[in-house]
Amino acid sequence: MHVLSVSSLKGGVGKTTVALGLASAAFAKGLRTLVVDLDPQCDATTGLGAVGVFRESCADVLENPKHSVVLRAIVPSSWTKVRPGTIDVMLGSPRTIGFDTPTPTLREVWKLEEALSRVERDYDLVIIDTPPSINALTRTAWISSDRVLIVTEPGIFSVAAADRAMRAIESLRDGLTPRLQPLGVVINRVRPNSKEHEFRIKELSDLFGPELLNVQIEEKSTIQQAQGAARAIHTWPGEQAAELSKQFDELLAGAIESFKKPMDRKSIKNHKRFSRLTRIMRGQKWSSAQLAAEPTDFEALDGLTGDSSSR
Ligand SMILES: Nc1ncnc2c1ncn2[C@@H]1O[C@H](COP(=O)(O)OP(=O)(O)OP(=O)(O)O)[C@@H](O)[C@H]1O
Ligand SMILES: [Mg+2]
C-alpha cells in the first residue's frame, strides 16, 4: 500500500480536484483505492458521492484509530454504481477542524499512520486530501504519507505558496519522517493561450526545476460538471473528459514510478530509528513489545522540525 497526500498551502487551487482525478485514474486502472478526506470542508467526500448519515468519520479515527473505528469510518464511493471496483472514502467531517491545532503533539500527528496500518492489506493506494494550511491535519497527513503532491495554479500567490509547501515538506522529513518525499509540483487550471500563465509557468520551472512535473491540468468546465454529479472523470462522457483523464493517468503513472524508487541510505537508517521510536507504522507487524517501546513524553511539536535526539 502506498500513501500520497495532495496538498498546497493555499486554498482553492485544486487539491480536491487533483485528488479526485488521481482517484479516478486509480479506479480506472483497477487499483484498490482509499481516499482519506482530512479537510473539514469534506469536498472529496461529496465528490465521491459518499453523502448520507454515517456514524463515524475521520474525526473519530483521529480520536481513536482502533480497527473497528477505522472500518466504520470507511464507506464505498457511489462511483462503483457506474463501474465495478474498489474505491472507498474515509469520510470527512466538519468536526476534524477541532483537530487542526497549530501545535499538535507527536501522539496526535501519528494517529492516521496508525489507522492506515490497520487497513494496509486492503488497498493498493491511499490518497489524502488535505486542508490548505500547515496545521495538525496536514502534518498528520504528511507523516502517514510516502509522497506529497503539491498543487499550484499559474498565479503569483500560488507560486509562493508552493515554495512554502516544498520547504515545509523538507523540514518535516528531516525532523520526523524520513520516508516522506515530495512527488513534485503540478500546475492546475492552465489556460494554454494565456500570456500570464505562460509567464508563471516559466517562473515555476525556474523555481522548482525537475520538481515541476511535466503534466499540466488544463482548466475545463467538464471537471466541475463531473464533480457536481459526483462522478469519476474517467466515466464522464465527452472529449474534454477524455483529455483530462489522460492527464490524470499520466500523473498517477508518475506517482507509481516514484513509489518504486528506493530510499537513500541515510533515510533508511533514520527510518529504522524512527520505526523504533514510533508505535505503529505501516510495513511493520506491531506487537506488544513495540507498544511498550512507545515514547511517553509526547512533547508538543515545536514548529515543523521535531528534533529526534531530544525524544
Ligand atoms: N482544472 C480545472 N478546471 C476547471 N475547474 C477547476 C479545475 N480545478 C479546480 N476547479 C474548480 O475550482 C474550484 C476549487 O477547486 P478545488 O475545490 O479542487 O480546490 P481546493 O484546493 O481543494 O480548495 P480548498 O482549499 O477549499 O480545499 C472547484 O469549484 C473546482 O471544480
Ligand atoms: Mg479541497
Helix pair 136-143, 111-118: axis angle to 10 deg:
40
- Is pLDDT larger for residue 77 or for residue 172? 77
Average of per-residue pLDDT across 207-222: 94
Q: Which atom of ligand 1 is nearest to the CA of 221?
A: 4
Spacing, Cα 171 to ligand 2 middle (Å)? 23
Q: Taking the model in full, what pTM does it have? A: 0.89
Query: What number of CA atoms fall less than 13 Å from residue 88's CA on the CB side?
Result: 17
Q: Whose CA is nearest to atom 9 of ligand 1?
A: 14
d(CA 10, CA 161): 6
Amino acid letter, 260:
K
pLDDT tens digits, one per residue of 258-311? 998 876 666 666 656 555 555 556 765 444 444 444 433 334 344 433 333 332
Domains and CATH numbers, the chain: 2-303 (3.40.50.300)
Backbone phi, then psi, for 112, in 5-degree steps?
-70, -40
pLDDT the model gives residue 270: 60
pLDDT surpasses 90 at 88: yes
Protein residue with least CA distance to atom 30, ligand 1:
224
Tell which atom from ligand 1 comes closest to the C-alpha of 17.
Answer: 18
Instruction: Tell me if 153 sits within 8 A of 188, measured CB to CB.
Output: yes
Smallest CA-to-CA distance from 123 within 171, 165, 88 is with: 88
**Could you tell me the three cell numbers for 139?**
502534518
The residue whose CB lies within 8 Å of the most ligand 1 atoms, and thus the one to mutate among 6, 16, 39, is: 16
Q: Which of 190, 179, 178, 183 is nearest to 165 (CA)?
A: 183
CA angle (56, 62, 65) in 5-degree steps: 80
Evaluate: CB of 282 within 6 angstroms of ligand 1.
no
Closest residue by CA, ligand 1 atom 3: 219
Residue from 5, 17, 222 to probe ligand 1 pocket by mutation (most atoms less than 8 Å from CB): 17
Q: Is 224 in the pocket of ligand 1 (CB under 6 A)?
A: yes
Work out the percent of the chain whose per-residue pLDDT is above 90: 69
> Which residue type occupies 232?
A
Distance of CA 134 to the CA centre of its chain: 13
- As a whole-number percent, the residues of the chain with pLDDT over 70 amount to 84
Q: What tens digit of pLDDT does each residue of 153-209 get?
A: 998 888 889 999 999 998 888 767 878 899 999 999 999 989 999 999 999 999 999
Cα(297) to centroid of ligand 2, in Å?
Answer: 34
Beta bridge partners of 152: 187
Ligand 2 centroid distance, CA of 150 (Å): 13
